[in-house]
Amino acid sequence: MSSPSSVSLESAPGAVKLPILKVSGLRKTHETAGGDLTVLKDVNLSLDTGDTLAIIGPSGSGKTTLLGLCAGLDDASAGSVELDGMAIELLDQDARAALRNRLVGFVFQSFQLIPTLTAIENVLVPLELRGESGKDIHAEAERLMTEVGLGDRLDHYPLQLSGGEQQRVALARAFIHRPKILFADEPTGNLDAGTSGPIVDMLFRLNREAGTALVLVTHDPALAAKARRVVTMSGGEIVSEEENAAI
């Protein structure tokens, strides 16, 4: 009698890997005093698990809107966003928040740190939302704060930190729960050359070591050049896509 195969579907040769992100016919229209304004027009995009993607394009082209919709922070006017095979528009707010907390890290252009919490308390928020607590998570938060160069700023409040320092706290917060996909909106936008290098290295180390897929909106050519795929947006559409053959 033959025994049942122990090879799981995921590791079976030729198994189809689900994309971590699949965007289909995504549209966003704002109602404004001057009439409806469509700022995202039927965008289609798919990203493999563990892959890296940079989104570039002029200001106002819809990059931040696309990122927010992909991460389930905002509702689309039409179309679908699947995260790890789950269509987020089918989930209620609680289920969507739980999915986000399990899978997604997000670094906002404007940081969005909680002003009444210290830097290290901000970093711990994603784990506390998961109900984790204790010394281990505190040690991990301290390690990440040290890695972003802020080991001596643990108990500072956001208003006591510079823009670049707040950006680094926001990155540590996005890393702490080892998300399967990390969205970052201009992650080096507030950093000078000296501090952006280590942050970029940290992003790509998270990709290599934890397999976190990266979706990075950036104006920084050096950062875009490190991603395997680069898409360009203009007027609410993806107008071109390139692959970096060296990666």
Ligand X SMILES: Nc1ncnc2c1ncn2[C@@H]1O[C@H](COP(=O)(O)OP(=O)(O)O)[C@@H](O)[C@H]1O
- Which residues contact Mg ion (rule: CB under 5 A)? 64
**Least distance (Å) between residue 167 CB and Mg ion:** 14
Residue 197: φ, ψ to 5°: -55, -55
Span from 53-61, 86-94, 138-146, 158-166 in contact with ligand X (CB under 6 A):
53-61
Q: Which of 3, 8, 32, 93 binds ligand X (CB under 6 A)?
A: 32
Closer to Mg ion by Cβ: residue 118 or 232:
232
Q: Select from 63, 180, 226, 229 the one that contacts ligand X (CB under 6 A).
A: 63
> Within 65-84, which residues bind ligand X (CB under 6 A)?
65
Contacts of 116 (CB under 8 A, 6+ apart): 157
The answer to whether 238 and 45 have CB atoms below 8 angstroms apart is: yes
The sign of the torsion formed by the CA atoms of 237, 214, 122, 150 equals: negative
Q: What is the Cα–Cα distance from 95 to 180, expressed in whole angstroms?
A: 17
Contact 51, 213 (CB under 8 A): yes
Q: Does 34 bind ligand X (CB under 6 A)?
A: no
Name the residue nearer to Mg ion (CB basis): 66 or 202: 66
Residue 212 interacts with which of ligand X, Mg ion, none, CB < 5 to 8 Å by class: none
Quick one: 37 or 97, whose CB is closer to ligand X? 37
Quick one: which of 18, 39, 78, 99 contacts ligand X (CB under 6 A)? 39
SS3 98: helix
The single residue among 7, 15, 30, 241 that binds ligand X, judged by CB under 6 A, is 30
Unique residue bearing structure tokens 């395997």: 228
Question: Residues 59, 134, 193, 194: which binds ligand X (CB under 6 A)?
Answer: 59
State which of positions 181-210 bind ligand X (CB under 6 A). none
Query: Phi first, then psi: what are they for 53, rounded to 5°?
Result: -140, 130
Of 64 and 196, nearer to Mg ion (C-beta) is: 64
Burial class (CB in 10 A: 0-12, 13-18, 19+), 166: buried
Give how many residues touch ligand X by CB under 6 A.
12
Residue closer to ligand X (CB basis): 69 or 202 = 69
Positions of E strands within the chain: 19-32, 35-48, 52-56, 78-83, 86-87, 104-107, 181-185, 213-217, 229-234, 237-243
Q: Which of 12, 37, 95, 225 binds ligand X (CB under 6 A)?
A: 37
Q: Where are the beta strands (DSSP E) in 34-166?
A: 35-48, 52-56, 78-83, 86-87, 104-107
Interface positions with ligand X (CB under 6 A): 30, 32, 37, 39, 57, 59-65
